[in-house]
Structure 1
Amino acid sequence: MGALMLQGTGSDVGKSVLVAGLCRAFANRGLAVRPFKPQNMSNNAAVTADGGEIGRAQALQAIACRVEPHTDMNPVLLKPQADRTSQLIVRGKVRGTLGSGNFREARGALLAEVLESYERLRGQCDLVVVEGAGSPAEINLRAGDIANMGFARAAGVPVILVGDIDRGGVIASVAGTRAVIDEADSAMIRGFLINKFRGDPALFEDGYREIERRTGWQGLGVIPWLAAAARLPSEDGVILERRADPREGRKMIACPILPRIANFDDLDPLRLESAVEIVMVPPGQPIPAEAALIILPGSKATIADLAALRREGWDIDIQAHHRRGGMVLGLCGGYQMLGHRIADSLGIEGAPAAVDGLGLLDVETLLSPAKILRHVAGEALGSRVEGYEMHMGETAGPGTGRPFARLDDGTDDGAISPQGTVMGSYLHGLFASPDLRRSLLARIGLVGDGRDYRADIDAALDDIAAELSEHADIDAMLAFAADAA
């Protein structure tokens, strides 16, 4: 049938969720569907079956299609590691670093590889659903663009524009996009969706028709606020702004929000547990003393984030928590921070440096250019666990003699302190295992609910697909997709 692309009037208008929902809706009609995002920028990533990494959103969209994630689904991934630099991932592998000075030239040169990945996906399925990045209205970035209209025009993919009514000004956002983009780009847009609507859609009928009149684009539906989206894995930093709803009797798990926090969706399965309150601690706030467990998350720039942690005084909070007998768990970069020392002699993350860690685990880390990307399974805390590794560097020392996990391939992962109150692991996605969650929560005196996180995600995708099928013109979208080059 071809392909269809969703672009947005701005960032965070809900493109990722809509693409996932449409992928499931089309798959539920019996179509073979694949997701695609030419260029993503995110520090939340997933390991693919072909041994690479892609944005977390595209991995979720693959699940929505009921297929395994593949590097062709997100051929260019930018992982920010400083204010003006990002690690460049092409087809799942590290290809260097991009700075603000060479970003435009470098991305334009990647278009051919992006198109090759897209064409491979086209050959595997009935329909490709493409997600844009940012907005086509960012005309200052149009030259060399591969994320929005640059890709759409090169690949001949019709576009649907998504506007977010929840943030206000949606009429101006959609009509304004039509006003600022050039005619050739505008001609790629076949219709628009209004997303995140609360209330009675009849109240927006006049605005909806005015958008059609001003743009000449077909309205394809008003999508209500999708409550089920909160049950999906987190990709964007917006999740970090959420506050827990405190309930009496729950125990707190606290996680500091580091400047280059990565794969914070690792914590999402813990939100299924009724006895747990997850608190993401923002800069300027102490780690609550009442926390039963502190989780140090992954990081795209471990040494820089460790310095930030110390500037916030969180190292003092963690040490005090440890002296009181509280539990600490470090994941990936957080695990590296818990050791005695982190050395970056080759300048992997920036200028060469070596710094002292928090000293809570008897290990040291040496950062290296080789990136480890692999799915693993084994036993941790007496329970079966599955996850994936995604890190640059090796951690060694006497502390690894008490590993966090023993893997099925005969290797060990992580370390546990002699007292058992400090743990570190390189495994991402480990909390998806209900048994592992039970074992971890038992250590802080809780009984886990044992809900199946993966089944919950699958049910959420079906719920979203049903909402889209009711409120969006799915048949019109398929007709547009048939026009893809």
Structure 2
Amino acid sequence: MKTPAVMVQGTGSNVGKSMLVAGLARAYANRGLKVMPFKPQNMSNNAAVTMDGGEIGRAQALQALGARVPTSVHMNPVLLKPECDTGCQIIVQGKRFGTLEARLFGSRKGELLQYVMESFSKLESNADLVLIEGAGSPAEINLRAGDIANMGFAEAADVPVVLAGDIDRGGVIAAIVGTHCVLEDAEKDRIKAFIINKFRGEPRLFDDGLDEIVARTGWQSLGVVPWFNRAGELPAEDALDLADGFERGAIKIVVPVISRIANFDDLDPLRMEPSVSLEFVGPGSPLPGDADIVLLPGTKATIADLGFFREQGWDIDLAAHVRRGGKVIGICGGYQMLGKRISDPEGIEGGGDVEGLGLLDIETILTDDKTLTQRSGTHIASGAPISGYEIHVGVSEGPDCLNPVIRFEDRVDGAVSRGGQIWGTYLHGLFGSDAFRDAFLRGFGASGAVTYDAQVDSALDALAEHLERTMDLDRLLEIARAR
């Protein structure tokens, strides 16, 4: 007998598939099932380091947290990390597989299916239920040949599909019915039901809409899911979600949104703090002069994004910020940018040497050896415990490294400028450590008011209850078991 499994596909990107799967994982885990989340192919620079020493999309790490199971590279066997507008790094089962131009990826998808199926087999052999997330939309029929992300995988693994549509963006009837129109008959039959997501108002007002969708597709409705008000307490999956900012508290932290921003979930604990006003500055806008802190985030391509940073004139704004006495923090790629020089002798990012921003007395050499590890240690200045993960290429050395930020059991990490105005570290996720974040905020006259991990866990429980109330989860489980 096959392990129960069901795949949540969407009418498009950002319809809420990731959050639905995270909430469903918690809901079924609360029912006593061992749930495994799975996404065959993901495209994101927002990655997580797994318990087995690889990297997967951050959304799958959240889904594993929802399911209360350890993260594994098999939860997201193919991860595409864009390095430029036309190419990306391919991560297979947690490790770098190669770099490929986007136009050539279609010809290589077939050879990746074996890894996808191997990972899926490992998960289903150890689960009561596998919840699978698609990518983009099955309606992108121009990408159907060799597909491993949506219907191609569903067919290969013989799993049923439910289709999610986002009513908040408008046109949800056309999106679902239009998807039905462009699919092949066998693919239409594989979709057993649909979900209306992100509804605002009285759900019964959409009863006629549900009737139209059922009549035109033959698919049954699993429910209308109202807007989930605590969604902002869960880590954002897409950099587009950073656009609005979170202006609440007196401590103003400004984040320049570089073009290949990565692992921006570092910022989630800060945006939840009532004492913090987090502002994201997009291309073409200056860094505001009233910032207390400018935080340079991680990036998938340090040298390219350093050039992008300068093209916006942000280097000039940052220098003025420093002259005014403002603080500067760099994380991972942002840390590398703050140094005097970045060298790429092995051509990891195209080769050559570039001048850094010169705010830390360090130099970075990029190497092909990628660091992927979870870390715990002590914040040297405050003595607070601190934990997170490293995911980077390159080694940074120089006089300011003699004044490090963090002490691990086997070494130290980071660099602090003379006087402490500027510092950087390779450790992602550091602001998720409550004691450290409290010590950090106390340096600006505030204190930490959030217990971050507990609040995320609470939001997942609330999301599970939200879905239990508004979706037919018994019917969804029947669909998964009828596989």
Q: TM-score, normalised by structure 2?
A: 0.98
Q: Which residue of 1 aligns with 2:125?
A: 123
Q: Which amino acid aligns with 1:377?
A: S
What is the SS of the residue equivalent to 2:230? helix
Amino acid paired to 1:447: A
Contact 1:163 1:170 in 2 (8 A): yes
Alignment match, 1:392: 393
Q: Which residue of the partner structure matches residue 286 of structure 2? A: 286
**Post-superposition CA distance 1:319-342 (Å, at most 9, x none):** 111112111000000000000000
How far 1:449 sits from its partner (Å)?
2.6
Residue correspondence of structure 1 range 367-378 to structure 2 within 5 A: 367-378=366-377
Is the counterpart of residue 193 in structure 1 residue 192 in structure 2?
Answer: no
Equivalent AA in structure 1 for residue 202 of structure 2: D
One-letter code of the match for 1:28? N
- Confirm whether residue 453 of structure 1 aligns to residue 452 of structure 2: yes
Offset at 1:246?
4.5
CA distance in 2, matches of 1:174, 1:264: 32
SS in 2 for 1:57: helix
- Alpha carbons 2:173, 2:213 under 8 Å: kept: yes
Task: Report the more deviating stretch, 228-237 or 463-472.
Answer: 228-237
The equivalences for 1:63-462 within 5 A come to 63-246=65-248, 250-349=250-349, 351-380=350-379, 381-382=381-382, 383-408=384-409, 410-443=410-443, 445-462=444-461
Query: C-alpha separation between the residues in 2 aligned to 1:42 and 1:285?
Result: 25
Read off the aligned partner of 2:316 and give its amino acid letter: I
- 1:300-321 deviation digits (Å, cap 9, x = unpaired): 0100100011111111111111
Question: What's the CA shift string for 1:349-382, capped at 9, x where partnerless?
Answer: 2x21210001111110011111100011111132
C-alpha distance after superposition, 1:167-196 (max 9, x if no partner): 111001000000001011111100000000
Deviates most, 445-454 or 195-204: 445-454
8 Å Cα contact 2:239/2:261 also seen in 1: no
Which SS does the other structure have where 2:145 is aligned?
coil
Cα distance between partner residues in 1 of 2:445 and 2:38: 41
The Cα of 1:452 is off from its aligned counterpart by: 1.1
Partner of residue 44, structure 1: 46
**C-alpha displacement of 1:446:** 2.5
Q: Which residues in structure 2 correspond to 1:15-54 (within 5 Å)?
A: 15-54=17-56
Aligned partner of 2:153: which letter? F
Give the conservation status (yes or no) of the 8 Å contact 1:437–1:450. no
Deviation of the 1:438 alpha carbon: 1.6
1: CA distance between counterparts of 2:482 and 2:290?
A: 58
Counterpart CA distance in 2 for 1:101 and 1:11 is 20
CA displacement 1:218-269 (0-9 Å, x = unmatched) = 111000001121100111122221232356xx12100000000001110000
Amino acid at match of 2:385: R
- Report the Cα distance in structure 2 between the residues aligned to 1:27 and 1:354, rounded to whole angstroms: 50
The one-letter amino acid paired with 2:437 is R
Amino acid across the alignment from 1:237: A
Give the whole-Å Cα distance in 1 for the aligned partners of 2:23 and 2:247.
27
Q: d(CA) in 2 for partners of 1:449 and 1:367?
A: 35
CA contact (8 A) 1:39 1:76 kept: yes
2:261 maps to amino acid: I
Alignment of 1:8-19 (within 5 A): 8-19=10-21
Equivalent position amino acid for 2:21 in 1 = V
One-letter identity of the residue aligned with 1:365: T
Q: Deviations over 1:57-97 (max 9, x none)?
A: 00000000001110000000000010011110000001110
* C-alpha separation in 1, matches of 2:257 and 2:372: 24
State percent identity of aligned pairs: 55
Q: Contact conserved, 1:435 with 1:450, CA < 8 A, in 2?
A: no
| Equivalent-residue separation in structure 1 for 2:274 and 2:60 (angstroms) | 29
SS in 1 for 2:103: coil
Secondary structure in 2 matching 1:283: coil
Q: How many residues align?
A: 479
Q: Do 1:263 and 1:298's aligned partners in 2 also have CA atoms closer than 8 Å?
A: yes
Q: Tell me if the contact between 2:37 and 2:64 (Cα under 8 Å) persists in the aligned partners.
A: yes
Deviation track 1:29-84 (CA, whole Å, cap 9, x = no partner) reads 00000000000000000000110000000000000000111000000000001001
How far has the Cα of 1:101 moved from its partner?
2.4
Q: What amino acid is aligned across from residue 175 of structure 1 in structure 2?
A: V
Determine the C-alpha separation between the residues in 2 that align with 1:332 and 1:299: 8
Question: What is the identity, as a one-letter code, of the residue corresponding to 2:435?
Answer: D
User: Where do 5+ consecutive residues of structure 1 fail to align?
Assistant: none
Shift of 1:274: 1.1
User: Structure 1: how far apart are the matches of 2:405 and 2:101?
Assistant: 37
**Equivalent position amino acid for 1:345 in 2:** P
3-state SS of the aligned residue for 1:220?
strand
Equivalents in 2 of 1:194, 1:450: separation in Å? 35
Q: Deviations over 1:369-419 (max 9, x none)?
A: 1110001111113211000000011111111100011112x2010100011
Give yes or no for contact 1:275–1:446 (8 Å, CA) kept in 2: no
Q: 1: distance between equivalents of 2:372 and 2:49? A: 6
Task: Tell me how far apart the structure 2 counterparts of residues 227 and 86 of structure 1 sit (CA, whole Å).
Answer: 34
- Paired amino acid for 2:376: A
User: How far apart are 1:204 and its partner, in Å?
Assistant: 0.7
Distance 2:124 2:212 in 1: 36
Please state whether the residue corresponding to 2:208 is helix, strand or coil. Answer: helix
Q: Distance in 2 between matches of 1:405 and 1:11?
A: 38
Contact 2:248 2:276 in 1 (8 A): no
